[in-house]
Amino acid sequence: MRHYNWLNPWFICVVICCVILASPIVLVFSSLAFPQLDVWQHLYQTVLSDYVTNSLLLAFGVGALVILIGAPLAWFIARYDFYARRQIKWLVLLPMAMPAYILAYSYTGLLDFAGPVQGALRTTFDWQYGDYYFPEIRSLSGAILMLSLVLYPYVYMLAKTAFSDLPANLEEVSKSLGVTANQFITKVVFPLARPAILMGAALAMMEAFADYGTVQYFGISTFTTGIFRTWFGLGNGIAAAQLAAMLTSFVVLLLVLEYFSRRKVKYYLQGQKSKAFNRQVLHGYKSVVMAILCVLPVIFGFLIPVLQLVGWAIDSFTKQFDQAFIQLIWNSFYLAAITAICAVILALFFAYAKRLNRSKVIHLIVSFVGLGYALPGTVIAIGALVILSWLDIQINGITEAWFEQSVGLILSGTLFALVLVYCIRFLAVAMHNVDSGIARIKPSLDDAAKSLGHSSFSILKNIHVPLLTSSVCSSLLLVFVDVMKELPATLILRPFNFNTLAVKTFELASDERLMEAALPALAIVIVGIIPVIFLTRMTEQRSPQRTSKNKGKYVTS
């Protein structure tokens, strides 16, 4: 039996870091030990049913719609070769750069009663208010549509990988067994890709549970809006934490359901896979129709809102692009940069600690900290704020007793709180890339370095980090952009008189100043395009080469 040195400095540091990062999450659940019966009675009699119903309808509606958009789109691009396919297969990822709340602002400006669409209808047909029916964009169905248009790439990317990994002879074997073309798709292809599709849908549903900007702007009562109301409206932090714990329970339940849905039904590919799945060439009108179908999500999820934002931004550019706007850009940039650096350093530290010490305890506590990405930013922010506020009170008590002077809010009222919550929220993004990169480094390199007298830290610094350059850069980039787009945690924890592009966009849109909100929103979108390009290049490098078959029907990549 292998024995581990529990007093190893790496192990001790991992435990300390994990305790700090996990404490806000633990605190949220520990708040359940102090029930606020009067507040809960009030919530139960008034809005709690709306919170539960709307949150569930929103999450499951988004889950269903992203599957309807992402899975067929992935199949079309993986299965067929059609006009402009090479361009479309990276264009379909562009909606990932568009935060859902910005999409909501854009379509509200377009489709509201005073917007250009309804205005054109009234002018064209000489209609007045009440003469026609037009769908209400500020509704639960509207929020489901907005979130789905930016979250379908989760399903698309995972499903496309699953479809592309299917062996070339799978269709031939199915036909030899009498399986029709439709049955091949419904009974062979999609069951094999089912785990990937459900995982993508689960990720999208978790994002829907965590959304605040869209539902708040559309006036929909969900757990996230309820947490803000309980915290700021009722002034009860413990009840808000308990609402956050309830929301987290839904997220955990979703993860459990996703796991059991994959556990009960399993499909396997038998035999060795020698060739990748081939694409069928489409010609004529079929090729054009397929291209149009595949580009529709891009048009509605990216192109239309961006054009709307550009139009608004041009009109207000000269008035808004001043020193204050430059300060907004700088605030957002250095906050995202600091967080990205801290998150990647932590990811490197945890990944290397797991490599040095293969104890199940290390893997368990690091995995627990990585669950922060599955939790809404609101939940983590509340837990962190309660802890840091308590620490500030204790620190001020000590300084007043010893030095007769108060130092003020040095933790909860500073950027430290934001960076801490961002690191908890997005650490899993950095760890995913770093873990996959460090797993490709042969252990023999570590052994050779140790034989030459290098310490563990020296090996990490001089060997692993240079070899992990691409993984580190991708982690930095992805965390940077996620922080740029994060809204609810920033609203709760930002220091006094400190704004970011996301907060400014939200404030202006909440005041119905959509034209003024366009410029900061467009800046967020432009920054968000960077990881989309990076992801596209990664997909291109990892996509398997197609082999030609049945000349005139199938092609190579």
Question: Is 304 in the same domain as 326?
Answer: no
Q: Is residue 41 part of a domain?
A: yes
Q: Is residue 245 part of a domain?
A: yes
Considering 65-69, 170-174, 280-284, 327-331, the range whose residues carry the highest mean pLDDT is 65-69
**pLDDT the model gives residue 292:** 93
Q: Is residue 148 part of a domain?
A: yes
Region 393-398: mean pLDDT is 88
Q: How far is CA 187 from CA 107, 183, 184, 322, in A?
A: 38, 5, 6, 59
Take residue 114 and report the two structure tokens written for it: 């005073």
Phi, psi values for residue 17, rounded to 5°: -60, -40
Q: Give me the CATH number covering residue 178.
A: 1.10.3720.10
Which one of 280, 310, 340 terminates a domain? 310
**pLDDT the model gives residue 148:** 95
Take residue 363 and report the two structure tokens written for it: 């893997």
Which one of 310, 338, 364 terminates a domain? 310
Q: Is residue 13 part of a domain?
A: no
**pLDDT the model gives residue 264:** 53
Region 479-507: mean pLDDT is 86
Residue 6: pLDDT band with limits 50, 70, 90: low
490 contacts: CB under 8 Å, gap ≥ 6: 418, 500, 502, 503
pLDDT of 204 > 60? The answer is: yes
Instruction: Answer with the residue of higher pLDDT: 263 or 469.
Output: 469
**pLDDT the model gives residue 550:** 44
Question: Is 275 in the same domain as 382?
Answer: no
Q: Is residue 460 part of a domain?
A: yes
CB 415 within 8 A of CB 335: yes
Q: Is residue 166 part of a domain?
A: yes
Q: Is residue 444 part of a domain?
A: yes
- Look at the pTM and tell me if it is higher than 0.85: no
Question: Is 325 in the same domain as 306?
Answer: no
What percentage of residues in the chain have a pLDDT greater than 90?
A: 14
Question: Is 276 in the same domain as 389?
Answer: no
Question: Is 131 in the same domain as 184?
Answer: yes
Residue 296: pLDDT band with limits 50, 70, 90: very high
Question: Is 327 in the same domain as 202?
Answer: no
Question: Is 383 in the same domain as 426?
Answer: yes
pLDDT of 552 > 50? The answer is: no
pLDDT of 542 > 60? The answer is: no
Q: Cα–Cα distance between 33 and 242 in angstroms, integer?
A: 9
**pLDDT the model gives residue 181:** 66
Question: Is 66 in the same domain as 146?
Answer: yes
pLDDT of 547 > 50? The answer is: no
**pLDDT the model gives residue 93:** 87
Question: Is 295 in the same domain as 342?
Answer: no
CB 237 within 8 A of CB 231: yes
CA-based angle 515:517:518, to the nearest 5?
A: 70
Worst-scoring range by mean pLDDT, 221-230, 347-356, 444-453, 517-526? 444-453
- Report DSSP state, residue 93: T
**pLDDT the model gives residue 86:** 86
Question: Is 328 in the same domain as 240?
Answer: no
pLDDT of 180 > 80? The answer is: no
Residue 98: pLDDT band with limits 50, 70, 90: confident
**pLDDT the model gives residue 274:** 45
Phi, psi values for residue 508, rounded to 5°: -65, -40
Average pLDDT taken over every residue of the chain: 81
Overall number of domains in the chain: 2
Give the domain range for residue 396: 321-510
Q: What is the pLDDT of residues 57-96, one digit of tens each?
A: 999 999 999 999 999 999 899 888 888 888 888 889 888 8
- The CB density around residue 200, as the number of other CB atoms within 10 Å, is 28
Question: Is 290 in the same domain as 383?
Answer: no
pLDDT of 479 > 70? The answer is: yes
Take residue 60 and report the two structure tokens written for it: 């499951």
Q: Cα–Cα distance between 338 and 422 in angstroms, integer?
A: 10
**pLDDT the model gives residue 1:** 42
Considering 26-30, 136-140, 154-158, 185-189, the range whose residues carry the highest mean pLDDT is 136-140
Q: What is the pLDDT of residues 133-156, one digit of tens each?
A: 888 889 999 999 999 999 998 889
Region 100-121: mean pLDDT is 88
pLDDT of 534 > 50? The answer is: yes
Region 469-497: mean pLDDT is 82
Which one of 310, 333, 363 terminates a domain? 310
Q: Cα–Cα distance between 406 and 401 in angstroms, integer?
A: 9
Q: Which of 543, 435, 534 is nearest to 478 (CA)?
A: 534
Q: Is residue 474 part of a domain?
A: yes
Question: Is 267 in the same domain as 336?
Answer: no
